[in-house]
Amino acid sequence: MNTQENNKLIAEFWGMELGDDKTMYYDDAENLHPPTPINELKFHSSWDWLMPVVEQCLEKHNNLIDGRDVIDTPYSSIAQALQVVSLKETYNAVVEFIKENN
């Protein structure tokens, strides 16, 4: 998958929907976002865009674990990427987490 396809995957996981005009929109009273063209999604280049998705991955992770150590879970790659403060590694780990758990 290329960056645009991965960003669309992340957007859908985060709750954005594809509009008829090929823009992604987020319909949530707490998080009002204007429609965003798919090619302008910035999950790959902005911590501000990516971190709410990381939080959602953590919530999903907490619902998935069954007493296992975090090292053995799909979220561990995200946690490791965050430890080295790498946007690229965190982005890639989020994409893999979504592919495995969605």
Please tell me whether residue 37 adopts helix, strand or coil conformation.
Answer: strand
pLDDT in tens for each of the 102 residues of the chain? Answer: 899 999 999 999 988 888 778 788 776 656 666 788 889 999 999 999 999 999 999 888 776 656 555 566 678 899 999 999 999 999 999 999 999 887
Which tokens go with 32? 């009002």
Q: What is the pTM of this model?
A: 0.82
DSSP 74: T
Please tell me whether residue 25 adopts helix, strand or coil conformation.
Answer: strand
- Distance between CA atoms of 13 and 32, rounded to whole angstroms? 17
